[in-house]
Every structure is written in C-alpha cells, then in structure tokens.
Amino acid sequence: MAEDQIEYYKAKYQTIEDLPGVGPATAAKLRENGFKTVEAVATATVSELVVSGIGEATAEKIIEAARKSIAFTFVRGDELVKLRSNIRHLTTGCPSLDQLLGGGIETQSITEFYGEFGTGKSQICQQLCVTVQLPYDQGGLEGGALYIDTENTFRPERVIRISSRFNLDPQDVLKKIIFAEAYTSNHQMVLLENADEIIKEYNIRLIIIDSVTSHFRSEYVGREMLASRQQTLNKHLHKLIRLSRAFNAAAVITNQVMAQPDVFFSKMVQPVGGHIIGHTSHSRIFLRKGRDNVRIAKLTVSPYLPEGEAPIKITERGVEGEEYA
Ligand code: ATP
Ligand code: MG
C-alpha cells in the first residue's frame, strides 16, 4: 500500500472472511460472484448480494461493516478535509496542462478528456500510464495503471518511447500497466466490476477507460434506448468513482465527440443513491486541433478551478507542454 493511502484507507478488515457475519459458505458465494475483497463488498448494493444467494439481512450487515471498515460512510466536515488532504495530483508530463488542472489529474475523482478523433485523447492516456509510475517528488503516484481499451489503440511501443523520456526503464513500466480490451459495453462493465483485486495487487493508482462511450454509443441506438444507456453508463461511472476513492487513484476516461461538443455527460454525475457518493466530482477537458501537431486543451468543467486553456503538442516524445507563442 502506498504511504499516502494509509490514513484514508484504514481498513479494519483485510479479507472478506474478517467481516462479521461472513462464514466460509458466505465467503464462497461472495467470491464466486466476484466480491473478492472488502472494497468490492463495500461498493456492492444489497440487491447484488441477494442475487448472489446471500440473505438480505446478512447482505445489509456485511455491506455496512465493509463500508465502515474503509471509511465510506458519512463524514464530518473536518474529516472530509482530512480525506481530501489525501488527494494527490498526477502530472500529465505537460507543465501547461498540469497548470490548467491545478497541478495535474486529481485522485479520488474522474477526469474526462473529450474531443474529436485524433485530438490526442489516447496519447494522453498512454503518457499517464508512464507518469503515474514516477516518484511523488516528480509528480507521479508511485503506482501502476489499469487500462481498459475499447478501441484497440493502446500501443506498448508508444509507452516504451515515453518511458525513456521520463528516464524510466520501459520494461519495468510495462510490467506495471495492466491492460484489458473490452469487446462490448457489458464486457467493459464486468472488467471494472472485477477490478478490485487487481488494483490492490498491482498498487494501481490510475484507472483509464479509453473510450468510455464508444460501445455504449454503438450498442444503444435510438431515442428509446437513451434512458437505459444513461442508466447503465451511470452505474459504470459510479463504480469507477468508488474505486478511485477506495484506492486514492486517479480515474481518466475519454469520450469522442463530433465538432460540436455534446452533452453526453452533463447529467451523468448526480449520485444515484446519494448516500455513498456525497461529493462526486468530475473534471472535463475539451481537446481541439490547432496547427500541425498542436492541440488546445480547454478545462470546461471543474469542481473548483476556473475555466482556461493550455496548448500541448503531440510529438515523437509523447505529449508535451507548449508555451503560447
Ligand atoms: P480517437 O477519438 O480516434 O480515439 P484520439 O483523440 O484518441 O482519437 P490519439 O490517437 O490520441 O487521438 O492521437 C492521434 C494523434 O497523435 C495523431 O495526430 C497522430 O499523428 C499523433 N501521433 C501518434 N503517434 C505519434 C508519434 N509517434 N509521433 C507523433 N505524433 C503521433
Ligand atoms: Mg483514441
């Protein structure tokens, strides 16, 4: 466990068997259904556990114990300050972009890069897989990356090139990137739902979904499917935010949009249950093409930062910050 997680993540129970009310039979059912860690139980709903064959009363009891164990319940304002004091910023490797983001990509929340094709969304994601591994004093999180790729655009060669720019051993870097290709929206959701254990095992501090929306767009077509699409996507994003909180990790998603930025996400981050996610935050960065390899990043939504723009460049070395000419 990373040093800065200790305060936030003062887990009382280490394994699901430690939870009061969980005997061998219940533990087996939980594992069988993918609830393999205390975090997974804490972020489950009662009905999910009931479907897994666990009685309702037990389900309620163990979820509550798991949530308490990882400090997920109501928090006092002063405690919230303490919790938020554990938020870290992950460098993008581009000083101009870091500055726009108030120091980098925040942990414990979702950051979305959206823009047209070729605007550098996947390039930024691949670079973050490298920078997350940097030491804290260089803006990293000293952890690994989990990369869920829906468009088959992740390129290890690119990561190798970027690693050497940051003076990291490319082979070591690749070992700390856990990659999964998602073939359908359902597959994408299942991958994330079962990610707890791997996140813990590999000290993952960055979770990427590139792109979060492409499968949903192609599978849920037409107005009549809009509501179910939003609902499913909402569930997916809530799982993501819960993971980012539980592990003090940064969560980054990409979303391709046409020239006219859409409102795909605008209504998406209201907490569904309200009780777990009282302080959901979500930053959005719009990318557009400039001249040649220049891209302009614009912070369009932030919980607390002013809007602003930063130029970046996509080069052989990865994504680089650029000063205004
Ligand atoms: P999409 O919506 O299609 O997924 P994207 O926003 O993810 O697009 P990226 O794949 O991140 O786009 O960026 C593609 C851009 O990166 C292209 O302009 C390409 O020329 C540039 N690029 C990729 N690799 C290199 C490289 N090795 N050197 C310089 N530029 C590169
Ligand atoms: Mg892409």
Ligand 1 binding pocket (C-beta < 6 A) is 115, 117-123, 151, 153, 256, 314-316
* pLDDT recorded at residue 61: 94
φ, ψ of residue 199 in degrees (nearest 5): -65, -40
Superfamily of domain covering 89-324:
P-loop containing nucleotide triphosphate hydrolases (3.40.50.300)
Kindly indicate the confidence band of residue 275, based on its pLDDT and cuts at 50, 70 and 90.
very low
At 74 the pLDDT is 58
**What are the structure tokens assigned to 133, written together?**
């591994």
Residue with CA closest to ligand 1 atom 4: 117
* 47-97 pLDDT tens trace: 999 999 999 999 999 998 888 776 544 567 777 777 778 899 999 999 999
Task: Point out the ligand 1 atom lying closest to the alpha carbon of residue 158.
Answer: 27
Chain mean pLDDT for the chain: 85
- For residue 233, how far is its CA from the centre of ligand 2 (angstroms)? 19
**In 10 A of CB 4, how many CB atoms?**
18
Cα(219) to centroid of ligand 1, in Å? 25
**137-194 pLDDT, tens per residue?**
999 999 999 999 999 999 999 999 999 999 999 999 999 999 999 999 999 999 998 8
**What phi, psi does 196 have (nearest 5°)?**
-50, -50
Which atom of ligand 1 is nearest to 124's Cα? 11
The reply to whether the predicted model has a pTM over 0.85 is no
Which ligand is nearest to the Cα of residue 256, counting in written order?
A: 1
* Residue 22 CA from chain centroid, whole number: 29
Q: Closest ligand 1 atom, CA of 119? A: 6
> CB of 207 within 8 A of CB of 240?
yes
168 φ, ψ to 5°? -110, 150
CATH of domain 3-70: 1.10.150.20
Please report how many Cα atoms fall inside a 13 Å half-sphere around the Cα of residue 198, on the Cβ side.
18
Distance 114 CA to ligand 1 centre (A): 14
Domain extents in the chain: 3-70, 89-324
Nearest-angstrom CA–CA distance, 175 and 156: 11
